[in-house]
Amino acid sequence: MRHVKTAMAALLLAALGGGSAAIFVSAPAPAQTTVKLELWSRQDPSGPLRPANVVKAADRLNKELAAEGSGKRVKVAVHESPAPGFDDDALQLLKVFGIGQGPDLFIAAHEWICAFQQEGFALKLDDYIAKYPQYFTTIFPSLWQSVKCSDGIYGIPQDAEARMFFYNKKLLREAGYDDAFIEAMPARTLSGELTMDDVIDIANRVINKAKAQYGILHRPNKGPDYIMAFQSYGNNFLDPGTGKLLLERDKLAAAFGWFERGVKQGVIPANNTSMEFDALRKAFYTGNAAFWMYGIWDLGTYAFPTYGLPKDEAGFFADWGWIAAPPAKKGGQAGSLTHPIIYAVAARVADPELAVRLLGHASDADLNTDHAVTTTHLGIKSEQLKDPRYAGAWPLARATELLKITKFLPNNPQFGDLNGIIYTALQGVETGRLSGQQAADFVVDEATSSLKDVIVK
Amino acid sequence: MSAVTDLAVERRYRAASAVRRRTNFVLFLGPAIALTFLFFVIPVLIDIAVSFTDLDRTLRISKFTTEQYQKVFRGDSRLPQVIGLTVVYVFGTLAIFNVTFGLVLALTTTSLNKVSGGFFRGVWLLPRMSPSVLYILLWLWVINPSDVGLLNQFLMPALGLARPLDLMTSAPVALIIIANGFIGASLGMIIFTAAIRGIPEHLFYAAEVDGAGTLAKIRFITLPALRWPISFVTIYQTLSLLVSFEYILLLTKGGPFYDTTVFALYVYRRAFTSGQYGYGAALALFLIVIGAAAALLGWRFFDFKRLLQHPRIEVH
């Protein structure tokens, strides 16, 4: 943090009048200090207001400081990282902190926060949050779980979203499913009637009877969405007692088995992991795939502006829809995944109070709603629900329904690395290099040899 | 008196000669020695030092340890596959493209007239002259696993394929060998062309007079004359293929799964993707040892000592 001192000379106002020699001297104004805070943020088209809101928050904080009579002022400099994803970004930032450099504030995916905490790079925020409740009390309590590490809170939730299985109703109708079946899918999933294997069956019928090449598509790189399928098969990856990573071989094999069956039936393309994001999105949104495993924000970022899907609720749900991640067996619990992005403060920040207050303003309901409605992310505060703009953004209201059953990725410092291993194994299964069981063995083998403190069952 | 003068002159001459030798040594070998130290010896020493630490994704060292080597020898089940693939990749690329295809290109382009030969050699040099990213972008377009891929645009109608070919999934190893081979072949082509042009023409005329056909001339005149260039290209390209992985990284990222992760790329994936710098350094050390061993074996096998010995000048 750099302090730029602007010396304000005390002004002497001398008034000489009527021959009197009276001299009036004003009280000296406090010397103004500008505190420059650097914010690390990855260039991300899905959330340009994440850093922009912090820049705007500086104006609000400066007004607050002026009203308090403080001589401090805050200036935010944004460092934009070109990392292609949040995992690469976090790895890069860990290195930057490791060599004693780095920003004062940073934006990260929540599952990485404990990696920063473990290395002593992130500031523990419990005391500051307690000291400034006005900024933070209305943040949804469940979201704080996403920023908790073993000894406390190390981040401030910036947004949330819901991950789901989008589906193309037109293709299902073409495949012979009636409207009653299609419209009941979301409710049947939530009640545990529709299972993961049913999704494969539906997708199978679509590729055989409708004009569609693909049944189910998922992201082509490491990320959270396919983890929903693993959660459906009971993989939570975290031992609740110790907080260590937990791998259960049978449950892993069952989840990989689902992908294996999908590929064998021609429903999941064997080359899904080597396809481009754009090609996958195009395939789904132009009617060439039945299901797309992704997040609600994809609607605002790509589906509406790029592929011209109807922006109105009725128009959208006429031909498109989504279901939660179905359970593995009938009667099981459906699931969803939310992947909050968070603000965090570097441990080395010189003025932590100012940094936390700045992020407090960046979390203001109106600023957060700007981000939510423009990028289809879920808000973080209860008062946002009353904002007409938020209430009018139907994808947010509809996706919020999934928050009741949502889960987070484990907040374990090594989960990012484990997810890389899981993704590699997934690629092995889909390209026919590994069976479901071999993939489970691969994950256990790789994780136990390259990660620390992994519990295997 | 004269003898003393001669001695002094001789001493001065010897001293000047010694100074000149030292100056020449510094002038001619100095830069090479400095570069070798800067870009080989010092990095190797750093690599050895890092391999005995637990340097991780935060670039911090908390202890000195031998556990990276224990992992190499005992704990890494991927290594056998990676080493096997590296052998296939290096010898496949070398045997099919860098030597054989390079030789075929040299033989065919030297048998054409000068303009045509030069033109075709220029065409085959294009992959080497193109920036690696551009070259691989073209490859990605050629093999795109949809009907917009160049290959599929030709093959789907020609072979009546219902679904587009996906070489990235079905034949990734062949793909990296071909993509690298197209670049590697050009070096062999240039060197072999120069060597073929150096063969005295009267040998070919004499062979023709004796009734030799084209194949006989290649077998009995050209190939024996190319022994040293072939040896050089083989050793040079073996070392080059062992340590280079940029084209593979750009084309397949080492996948699908670990199918195209050669040893050098494996080191990169461990160190820079997983953040296990200590382990990556230990693996890299093995690559250095393997490279040095391959160079020495090649030296011995191809009898390079004879190649580098002083030529015997005939005095008439």
Q: Is the pLDDT of residue B312 over 60?
A: no
Nearest CA-CA partner of A90 in A222, A249, A265: A222
Judged by average pLDDT, the poorest of A7-21, A283-297, B80-94 is: A7-21
Would you state the pLDDT for residue A402?
A: 84
β-pair type (A72-81, A32-42): parallel
Q: What percent of chain B has pLDDT over 70?
A: 96
Would you state the pLDDT for residue B314?
A: 52
Structure tokens at A73: 């002022």
Rounded Cα distance, A402 and A317, in Å: 16
Residue type for position A324? A
Would you state the pLDDT for residue B73?
A: 87
Give chain B positions within 8 Å (CB) of A121: 58
φ, ψ (nearest 5 deg) of residue A73: -135, 155
Q: Say if CB A112 and CB A416 are below 8 A apart.
A: yes
Block residue for tokens 């690395």: A417
Give how far A409 is from chain B: nearest CA, Å: 19
Give chain A positions within 8 Å (CB) of B53: none
Would you state the pLDDT for residue A391?
A: 85
Would you state the pLDDT for residue A84?
A: 85
Rounded Cα distance, B101 and B98, in Å: 6
pTM of the model: 0.81
Q: Is the pLDDT of residue B4 over 80?
A: no
Q: What percent of chain A has pLDDT over 70?
A: 93
Q: At what angle do helices A436-450 and A249-264 cross, to 10 degrees?
A: 130
φ, ψ (nearest 5 deg) of residue A168: -100, 105
Collapsing DSSP states into helix, strand and coil, what is residue A251? Answer: helix
Task: Count Cβ atoms within 10 A of the Cβ of residue A443 and give its class: 0-12 exposed, 13-18 middle, 19 or more buried.
Answer: buried
Would you state the pLDDT for residue A349?
A: 95
User: Cβ A91–B58 below 8 Å, yes or no?
Assistant: no
Give how far B152 is from chain A: nearest CA, Å: 16
Q: What is the 3-state secondary structure (H, E, C) of B100-142?
A: HHHHHHHHHHHHCCHHHHHHHHHHHHHHHHCCHHHHHHHHHHH
Would you state the pLDDT for residue A25?
A: 44
Q: Does B276 touch chain A (CB under 8 A)?
A: yes
Q: Is the pLDDT of residue B39 over 50?
A: yes
Residues B45-55: tens digit of each pLDDT: 999 999 999 99
Would you state the pLDDT for residue A23?
A: 41
Report CA Rg, chain B: 26
Residues A162-206: tens digit of each pLDDT: 899 999 999 999 999 999 999 999 999 999 999 999 999 999 999
DSSP string spanning chain B?
Answer: -HHHHHHHHHHHHHHHHHHHHHHHIIIIIHHHHHHHIIIIIHHHHHHHHHHTB---TT-----B-SHHHHIIIII-TTHHHHHHHHHHHHHHHIIIIIIIIHHHHHHHHHHS-HHHHHHHHHHHHHHHHS-HHHHHHHHHHHT-SSTTSHHHHHHHHHHT-SS---HHHH-HHHHHHHHHHHHHHHHHHHHHHHHHHHS-HHHHHHHHHTT--HHHHIIIIIHHHTHHHHHHHHHHHHHHHHH--HHHHHHTTT-STTTT--HHHHHHIIIIIS--HHHHHHHHHHHHHHHHHHHHHHHHHTTHHHHHSPP-----
Rounded Cα distance, B128 and B184, in Å: 8
Q: Is the pLDDT of residue A225 over 60?
A: yes
Q: Say if CB A53 and CB A371 are below 8 A apart.
A: yes
Would you state the pLDDT for residue A413?
A: 83
Ramachandran quadrant class, A18 (left: phi over 0; alpha: psi -120 to 50; beta: rest):
left
Structure tokens at A192: 């545990």
Q: Say if CB A127 and CB A288 are below 8 A apart.
A: no
Would you state the pLDDT for residue B274?
A: 81
Q: Does domain B67-305 have CATH number 1.10.3720.10?
A: yes
Sign of the alpha-carbon torsion through B46, B47, B52, B58:
positive
Q: Does B76 touch chain A (CB under 8 A)?
A: yes
Q: Say if CB B121 and CB B105 are below 8 A apart.
A: yes
Q: Say if CB A418 and CB B246 are below 8 A apart.
A: no
- The larger pLDDT score, comparing residue B94 to residue A20, is at B94
Q: Which of A119, A424, A449 sits opposite B257 (nearest CB)?
A: A424
Structure tokens at A311: 């922006």
Q: Say if CB A6 and CB A71 are below 8 A apart.
A: no
User: Cβ A427–B145 below 8 Å, yes or no?
Assistant: no
Give how far B58 is from chain A: nearest CA, Å: 5
Average pLDDT, chain B: 89
- The pLDDT of B301-314, averaged and rounded, is 68
Average pLDDT, chain A: 90
- The pLDDT of B275-303, averaged and rounded, is 89
Would you state the pLDDT for residue A4?
A: 43
Would you state the pLDDT for residue A22?
A: 41
Rounded Cα distance, B296 and B305, in Å: 11
The Cα-based distances of A43 to A80, A220, B255 in angstroms read 6, 19, 27
ipTM: 0.75
Within 8 A by CB and 6+ apart from B19, the residues are none
Please report which confidence band the pLDDT of residue B2 belongs to, taking 50, 70 and 90 as the band edges: low
Rounded Cα distance, B279 and B270, in Å: 7
Mutate to test the interface with A, among B54, B58, B77 (most CBs of A within 10 A): B58
Query: What is the chain A residue with the closest CA to B276?
Result: A450
Query: What is the chain B residue with the closest CA to A419?
Result: B274
Q: Is the pLDDT of residue B227 over 90?
A: no
- The pLDDT of A366-394, averaged and rounded, is 90
Would you state the pLDDT for residue B8?
A: 85
Q: Which of A91, A271, A427 sits opposite B57 (nearest CB)?
A: A91
- The pLDDT of A308-333, averaged and rounded, is 95
Q: Is the pLDDT of residue A140 over 50?
A: yes
Within 8 A by CB and 6+ apart from A445, the residues are B77
User: Cβ B257–A433 below 8 Å, yes or no?
Assistant: yes
Q: Output the CA torsion B252→B257→B259→B262 (10° steps).
A: 70
Rounded Cα distance, A291 and A219, in Å: 12
Would you state the pLDDT for residue A14?
A: 35
- The pLDDT of B179-198, averaged and rounded, is 93
Query: What is the chain B residue with the closest CA to A271?
Result: B169
Beta bridge partners of A36: A2, A75
Q: At what angle do helices B227-243 and B79-93 cross, to 10 degrees?
A: 150
- The pLDDT of B118-137, averaged and rounded, is 93
Residue B32 burial (CB count, 10 A) = 9
Nearest CA-CA partner of A198 in A294, A331, A298: A331
User: Cβ B169–A431 below 8 Å, yes or no?
Assistant: yes
- The pLDDT of A82-94, averaged and rounded, is 90
Q: Is the pLDDT of residue B62 over 90?
A: no
Q: Is the pLDDT of residue A18 over 70?
A: no
Q: Say if CB A114 and CB A149 are below 8 A apart.
A: yes
Would you state the pLDDT for residue A382?
A: 86
Most confident by average pLDDT, A451-455, B126-130, B281-285: B281-285
Q: Among residues 245-274 of chain B, which lie with CB inside 8 Å of chain A? A: 252, 255-259, 273-274
Q: Is the pLDDT of residue A28 over 70?
A: no
Query: What is the chain A residue with the closest CA to B72?
Result: A449
Residue type for position A326? P
Would you state the pLDDT for residue B140?
A: 92
